[in-house]
A and B are shown apart, each in its own frame.
Chain A
Amino acid sequence: MSRIELTNLRKEYGNVVAVNDLNLTIEDGEFIVLVGPSGCGKTTTLRMIAGFEDPTAGEIRLDGSIVNDLEPRDRDLGMVFQSHALFPHKNVADNIVFGLRMQKVGKEEQRRKMHEVAELVRISHLLAKMPGQCSGGESQRIALARTLVTEPSNFLLDEPLSSLDAKLRRELRAECDRLHEQLQKTFVYVTHDQEEAMTLADRIVVMDAGEIVQMGSPIDIYSNPVSYFVADFFGNPAMNLIEGEFVQNGSAEFRSDSFTVSLPEKYKDISPGKGTFGIRPENVQVSKANGGDTRNIGLVEPLGKDTLLYFETAAERPFVAIVEGTESHSSGEPVELSFPGDNMFLFDGTGDRIRA
Chain B
Amino acid sequence: MTATTLNGQVDPPQNIKARKGREANKAQGIRRFKWTVLSPFLALMAFILVPALLLQVFFSFFQFSIFDAGDSDSFMAYFEASEFVGLDLFIDVFRDNRFGAAIIRSLLFATGATLGCFVFGFGLALLMYRPFRGQALYYIFFILPMLTVPIVIAYTGEMILYQNGPLNDILSRLSGLRVEAQFLYKKEVALTTIMALEIWNWTPFSFIIMMAGLAALPKEPQEAAKILGASKWRIFWEIQVPLLRPVIMLALILRFLEAMAEFPKTWSLLQGGPGSATETIPVYIFLTTWQYFDISYGAALSYVVLVLMMGIVMAGIYLLRREKKSLDEMYMAKPSEG
Contacts and interface: CB of A to CB of B under 8 A. Distances in A.
Interface stretch (B16-24, B37-45, B267-275, B310-318): B16-24
Nearest to B19: A68
B22 A44 contact: no
B7 to A, nearest CB: 9
A43 B336 contact: yes
Interface in B18-32: 18-19, 21-23, 26
Contacts of A41: 338
A39 B335 contact: yes
A40 B23 contact: no
Given A59-B15, A66-B10, A68-B15, A54 B338 contact: no
Given A54-B23, A64-B8, A69 B338 contact: no
A167 B53 CA distance: 68
A6 to B, nearest CB: 13
A190 B18 contact: no
Given A64-B8, A66-B10, A54 B337 contact: no
A23 B22 CA distance: 22
Contacts of B335: 38-39
A159 B337 contact: yes
21 contacts: A34-B338, A38-B334, A38-B337, A38-B338, A43-B337, A43-B338, A44-B338, A46-B338, A54-B22, A54-B23, A54-B26, A57-B19, A59-B15, A66-B10, A66-B15, A66-B18, A68-B18, A69-B21, A82-B337, A190-B337, A192-B337
A139 interface: no
A134 to B, nearest CB: 24
Interface in B291-338: 334-338
A39 B338 contact: yes
Given A36-B338, A39-B338, A69-B21, 11 more contacts: A38-B337, A38-B338, A42-B338, A43-B336, A43-B338, A54-B26, A66-B15, A68-B19, A190-B337, A190-B338, A192-B337
Contacts of A46: 338
Contacts of B22: 54, 68-69
A2 to B, nearest CB: 15
- Indicate the member of B8, B26, B337 with the most A CB atoms within 10 Å: B337
A36 B8 CA distance: 32
Contacts of B16: 57
A45 interface: yes
Contacts of A36: 338
Interface of B: 8, 10, 15-16, 18-19, 21-23, 26, 334-338
Contacts of B10: 66
Nearest to B14: A66
A55 interface: yes
Closest 3 CB pairs of A and B: A43-B338, A42-B338, A69-B22
A18 B338 CA distance: 8
A55 B15 CA distance: 12
Contacts of B23: 54
A46 B15 CA distance: 20
Interface in A56-111: 57, 59, 64, 66, 68-69, 82
Given A64-B8, A66-B10, A55 B19 contact: yes
A54 B8 contact: no
Nearest to B335: A39
A178 B19 CA distance: 37
Most buried by B among A36, A40, A64, A68: A68
A163 to B, nearest CB: 12
Q: Which of A36, A40, A54, A190 has the most CB of B within 10 A?
A: A54
B151 to A, nearest CB: 41
A159 B338 CA distance: 10
Contacts of B19: 54-55, 57, 59, 68-69
Contacts of B21: 69
Nearest to B338: A43
B13 to A, nearest CB: 12
A296 B256 CA distance: 72
A82 B338 CA distance: 13
Contacts of A68: 15, 18-19, 22
| Central interface residue in B15, B16, B26, B338, by most chain A CB within 10 Å | B338
A192 B337 CA distance: 9
A40 B338 contact: yes
Contacts of A38: 334-335, 337-338
Contacts of B337: 38-39, 42-43, 82, 159, 190, 192
Contacts of B336: 43
A40 B338 CA distance: 5
Nearest to B21: A69
Interface in A10-60: 18, 34, 36, 38-47, 54-55, 57, 59
B29 to A, nearest CB: 12
B338 A45 contact: yes
